[in-house]
């Protein structure tokens, strides 16, 4: 969409383009040389000269594979990972959330997914001397759960030396752009804008909280149900890969029972507060709300769950980590691990999503 007037063509040719309503480089390059000759009523030599200049100005210069590889290594500050500052988890993930890959947080409502996202967005915004990425963050907040007050609270308690400096809290919060798409269509539009911002600005992290909520009202029953997000998954994956930024997305849970496909826990109907007295009556047959297509697309899956009143974060899918579970708490500092060693999980335990025995967790299903 570069304007022909900005290309630097000799005025005599530039004026002919303007007179024939060829305004942008795209207008000119969409026509063949002969079509241009006919339309502009000029000779082939002049057209060839103009097309060559327009192409040169609008196309990025070529790069060799070697220079692309060198750039990639250079960009991969912190060895290509954004540390979560949760020591045990960072060790298990070989440094933190991987650049150029999708990391998913899945768990029941109220377990702490948004708290995790808030802390991570602060970490990406922090100056590099404090272990951050010194960058901008795009936070797609589908359910209006983002709280700037809570963000500042986590910042002040986790990084008092930075947040007590005058103007720092404002600067850090100013680096986080929150988008609130109200529908899948708006989300699609937001993603297109995100792509441009990621390429133009210093965006170092993309967060989507939550992917599942986007399709809660639009999910169809039956085998076609994964389709609504198919395009988005591919788009986000290629965006992560191309820009080499970490992408963090949350996913919710639903009942495992096959014919209860519409009973996603985030749906408003039959909401019930789970109280400690009857927690044992609930079983833990929960699965991630977005289906198998989605599960294959993510590179790292972290399951947040609650068992007997204790919350755990589990490394359920990772190219290099063992299947570890870390007990955690949500405090004024955000998510804090209770021990950094983790417990190794056996068999399918690592993929199970438990929701037993925590009074803070709201369960919206009707499996009683």
List residues near ligand ATP by CB under 6 A.
107, 109-115, 145, 150, 153, 252, 330-332, 360
CB burial of residue 348 (10 Å; 0-12, 13-18, 19+): exposed
Residue closer to ligand ATP by CB (options 24, 216) is: 216
Q: Could you give the residue ranges of the DSSP H alpha helices within 97-210?
A: 113-125, 148-158, 160-163, 168-174, 184-200
What region, left, alpha or beta, does residue 164 occupy, with left being phi > 0 and alpha being psi -120 to 50 degrees?
alpha
Smallest separation, CB 168 to ligand ATP (Å): 20
DSSP calls for 48-117 = HHHHHHHHHHHSPPP--HHHHHHHHHHH-GGGGEE--S-HHHHHHTTSSEETTSEEEEE--TTSSHHHHH
* Distance from C-alpha of 351 to C-alpha of 286, rounded to nearest angstrom: 10
* Distance from C-alpha of 7 to C-alpha of 16, rounded to nearest angstrom: 14
Residue closer to ligand ATP by CB (options 50, 111) is: 111
Strand partners, 307: 310
* Distance from C-alpha of 43 to C-alpha of 52, rounded to nearest angstrom: 14
Residue closer to ligand ATP by CB (options 30, 332) is: 332
Smallest separation, CB 133 to ligand ATP (Å): 22
Residue closer to ligand ATP by CB (options 204, 364) is: 364
Residue closer to ligand ATP by CB (options 63, 331) is: 331
Residues 6+ apart with CB under 8 A from 150: 115, 118
Residue closer to ligand ATP by CB (options 80, 112) is: 112
Smallest separation, CB 237 to ligand ATP (Å): 23
* Distance from C-alpha of 102 to C-alpha of 214, rounded to nearest angstrom: 17
Looking only at the bridges linking them, the beta strands covering 253-255 and 286-288 are antiparallel
Smallest separation, CB 48 to ligand ATP (Å): 59
Smallest separation, CB 151 to ligand ATP (Å): 11
Smallest separation, CB 339 to ligand ATP (Å): 19
Residue closer to ligand ATP by CB (options 80, 110) is: 110
Residues 6+ apart with CB under 8 A from 224: none
Smallest separation, CB 89 to ligand ATP (Å): 16
Residue closer to ligand ATP by CB (options 145, 180) is: 145
The vertex-184 CA angle with 182 and 187, nearest 5°, equals 70
Smallest separation, CB 362 to ligand ATP (Å): 7
Strand partners, 300: 103
Smallest separation, CB 335 to ligand ATP (Å): 9
Residue closer to ligand ATP by CB (options 22, 335) is: 335
* Distance from C-alpha of 338 to C-alpha of 329, rounded to nearest angstrom: 7
């Amino acid at each position: 969409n570069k304007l022909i007037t900005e290309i630097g063509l000799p005025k005599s040719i530039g004026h002919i383009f303007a007179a024939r309503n060829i305004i942008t480089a795209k207008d000119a390059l969409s026509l063949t040389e002969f079509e241009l000759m006919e339309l502009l009523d000029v000779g082939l030599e002049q057209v060839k000269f103009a097309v060559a200049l327009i192409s040169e100005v609008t196309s990025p210069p070529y790069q060799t594979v070697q220079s692309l590889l060198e750039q990639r290594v250079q960009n991969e500050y912190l060895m290509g990972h954004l540390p979560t500052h949760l020591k045990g988890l960072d060790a298990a993930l070989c440094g933190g959330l991987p650049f150029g890959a999708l990391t998913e947080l899945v768990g029941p409502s109220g377990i702490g997914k948004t708290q995790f996202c808030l802390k991570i967005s602060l970490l990406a915004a922090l100056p590099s001397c404090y272990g951050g990425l010194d960058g901008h963050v795009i936070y797609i907040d589908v359910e209006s759960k983002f709280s700037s007050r809570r963000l500042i609270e986590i910042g002040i308690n986790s990084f008092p030396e930075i947040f007590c400096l005058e103007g720092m809290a404002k600067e850090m919060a100013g680096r986080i752009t929150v988008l609130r798409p109200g529908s899948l269509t708006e989300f699609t539009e937001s993603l297109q804008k995100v792509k441009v911002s990621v390429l133009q600005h210093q965006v170092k992290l993309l967060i989507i909280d939550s992917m599942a909520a986007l399709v809660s009202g639009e999910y169809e029953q039956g085998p076609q149900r994964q389709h609504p997000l198919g395009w988005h998954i591919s788009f986000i994956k290629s965006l992560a890969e191309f820009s080499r930024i970490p992408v963090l997305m949350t996913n919710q849970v639903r009942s495992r029972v096959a014919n209860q496909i519409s009973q996603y826990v985030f749906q408003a109907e039959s909401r019930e507060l789970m109280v400690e007295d009857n927690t044992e009556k609930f079983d833990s047959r929960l699965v991630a709300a977005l289906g198998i297509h989605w599960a294959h697309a993510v590179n790292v899956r972290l399951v947040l769950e609650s068992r007997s009143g204790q919350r755990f974060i589990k490394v359920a899918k990772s190219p290099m980590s063992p299947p570890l579970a870390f007990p955690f708490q949500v405090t004024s500092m955000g998510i804090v691990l209770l021990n950094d060693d983790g417990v190794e999980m056996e068999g399918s335990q690592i993929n199970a999503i438990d929701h037993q025995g925590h009074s803070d967790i709201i369960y919206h299903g009707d499996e009683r």
